[in-house]
Structure 1
Amino acid sequence: MTATLSGGEIILWEFIGTAILILFGTGVVATVLLPRTNSDGDTASWVLITIGWGVAVFAGASIANATSGHINPAVTIGLAIAGKTPWSEVPFYLIGQFLGAFVGAVLTWLVYKLQFDHNEDNSGTLNIFSTNPPIRNVVWNFVTEMIASFVLLLFLLEGPYKSPANYAAVSVLVLGIGASLGGPTGYAINPARDLGPRIAYAVLPIKGKGRPEWGYAWVPVVAPLVGGALAALLSLVLPATI
């Protein structure tokens, strides 16, 4: 289906889908972390966050289905390596994804602006927008993100991700990755998901906010790309019946 679409159409749908992904995903984190929301922190926070991101993937990918619903540069690159997406279309996917991620984060800020304004301490609010590992070690953080992204891409390439009807299965997988592998780093598994909101956090007028932590920002960008590329390379040598 993507072969009949123009570059502008790819950018548009990836932009919208990725924006919805980030709006839902960062929104659920804001619900958990910010005071004076209806949850007020009295939720099983990690369970709520993983469910929220799973639904975010379903919503964003389904809306972006006009282009096949990548909403993730690691997915786009992995599919291109595996020969399932033309390399000539890759730049259009990436433009839409990164722009959409930025706008989705801005929309989350607009939804929760009153909570940000009334929060006594916004120094830790980077965690709403981007990943920030509780134990900082870029080597092991890289390994964690790479493994989680490898699992995601291998599923997309070899699992039941053969038609739009199975986005629900991908959403459940993302929920499982968050529950099982997300603890050490916050499981970006998507370069646009982390970098776009991180840039938005850096420029948004949030009083008393913390630093965007640019020294770590490369890890959730590069590691998912590496993990996705490795999964794509493995898919090329796996038997076609798997």
Structure 2
Amino acid sequence: MSTSDIFLGEIVGTAVLILLGGGVCAAVTFRHSKAFNAGWTAIALGWGMAVLTGAYIAAGVSGAHLNPAVTVGLAVQGGTEWSDVPAYVLAQMIGAMLGASLVWVAYYGQFLAHLTGREATGGPGAQETAVADRTAQGPATPGPGPVLGIFSTAPEIRNTWQNLATEVVATVVLVLAILTQGLNQEGEGLGPLGVLITALVVVGIGLSLGGPTGYAINPARDLGPRLVHALLPLPNKGGSDWSYAWVPVAGPLLGGALAGGLYTLAFA
């Protein structure tokens, strides 16, 4: 597999993954969206379909890693050359940033309406609306701005070691499922059936383990869009929560490496 194949497949596949995954988060978040308040099940299913679509697009070109944790897991397991890891990770980051930017384009009017409305600007009625929102949704999580959840993840309870452990465990499940059930004949990426299995596993992880942290399970999925959030000219967007940003990077990378090692010890 050439470096150009890796770049093309991973950029396009990851961009589609983030466009559809971030898109479902936007659809559920914005009041001026037909899917407003559709709930966590819609988000978990949306991310599963995002993985399905992005991975099917990229599988025949790059093996559809779409995730540095998957790339690291495959490198530890031996299916991917360590020399190819930088190309995979760079392409995944570029694709993730491109996909997040396309979410902004697709929901441009909704972003403006949400961030310039009275809830964000403190206009008449803002206090009453904020109280109503807190009553309906529970205490606000410190750190993230009002639309950061469309781009990246944040924990419901900020406990660093629990948050890190959740991301590690969830990523081990994902990468171990790929290594045992999802690889193509060359063993260097996802095969056609593996794409479907992986998408269903992502839905399962979202429903079962996504509650504490929002299940990044993918460093590029979280860091790339978080950078886009920081760079986009969004009014009243708030902070990008950089104090937490290392957790959804370190946790999945550690989980991917652990899954690769576990597979080599127990299944190879």
Give TM-score scaled by structure 1 length: 0.94
Instruction: Tell me the distance in 1 between the aligned counterparts of 2:218 and 2:151.
Output: 13
Equivalent residue for 2:41, pick from 30, 42, 47: 47
Map residues 1-242 of structure 1 onto 2, 5 A cutoff: 2=1, 5=2, 7-41=3-37, 43=38, 45-65=39-59, 66-119=61-114, 120=117, 121=119, 123-162=145-184, 163-240=191-268
Q: Residue 67 of structure 2 contacts residue 220 of structure 2 at CA under 8 Å; is this kept in 1?
A: yes
Q: Residue 13 of structure 2 contacts residue 64 of structure 2 at CA under 8 Å; is this kept in 1?
A: yes
SS at structure 2 position matched to 1:37: coil
Fraction of identical pairs, as percent: 48
Q: Residue 8 of structure 2 contacts residue 62 of structure 2 at CA under 8 Å; is this kept in 1?
A: no
SS at structure 1 position matched to 2:244: helix
Deviation readout 1:173-208 (Å, 9 max, x if unpaired): 000000000000000000000000000000111111
Q: Offset at 1:134?
A: 1.6
Give TM-score scaled by structure 2 length: 0.85
Q: Residue 8 of structure 1 contacts residue 92 of structure 1 at CA under 8 Å; is this kept in 2?
A: no
* Root-mean-square deviation over aligned CA pairs: 1.2
Instruction: Tell me the distance in 2 between the aligned counterparts of 1:23 and 1:209.
Output: 19
Instruction: Tell me the distance in 2 between the aligned counterparts of 1:13 and 1:164.
Output: 15
Q: Residue 161 of structure 1 contacts residue 170 of structure 1 at CA under 8 Å; is this kept in 2?
A: no
Q: Which runs of 5+ in 2 are unaligned?
A: 121-144, 185-190
Moved over 4 A (4+): none
Relative to structure 1, is the Cα distance of residues 239 and 81 closer, same or farther in structure 2, using a 3 angstrom cutoff? closer
Instruction: Tell me the distance in 2 between the aligned counterparts of 1:199 and 1:239.
Output: 37
Instruction: Tell me the distance in 2 between the aligned counterparts of 1:161 and 1:88.
Output: 20
Deviation readout 1:51-94 (Å, 9 max, x if unpaired): 00000001111111111000000000110010000111111101
Instruction: Tell me the distance in 2 between the aligned counterparts of 1:161 and 1:183.
Output: 28
Whose Rg is larger? 2
